[in-house]
Amino acid sequence: MASDTQTIDPLSFEDALRALETIVRQLESGDVPLEDSISLYEKGEQLRQHCQKRLDAAQARIEKIVAGPDGAAIGTQPFEALDR
């Protein structure tokens, strides 16, 4: 399983998502033997976690443009500081 992590870590979000979609299609087909299904599910979970980590990192970098009284942009505000 450690080798799976090493092969997943360098993947971009898009590549990991494509790999996850492939696994989902294989599992949904019902043509995969039980043991292979379990292995695919485990790899799919690792890919899901990787995608979530990439999304969380991207979200942390998003900045909100702060507008002044006249509506013109006066700066940015880190995403974390936004009221939710």
Distance CA 29, CA 56 (A): 31
Distance CA 54, CA 60 (A): 10
Rounded to two decimals, the pTM is: 0.69
Tell me the two tokens of residue 31: 């043509």
pLDDT, tens digit (0-9, with 9 covering 90-100), for 49-81: 999 999 988 876 665 556 667 767 677 666 665
pLDDT, tens digit (0-9, with 9 covering 90-100), for 2-28: 567 679 999 999 999 999 999 999 999
Note whether 63 and 78 are within 8 A (CB): yes
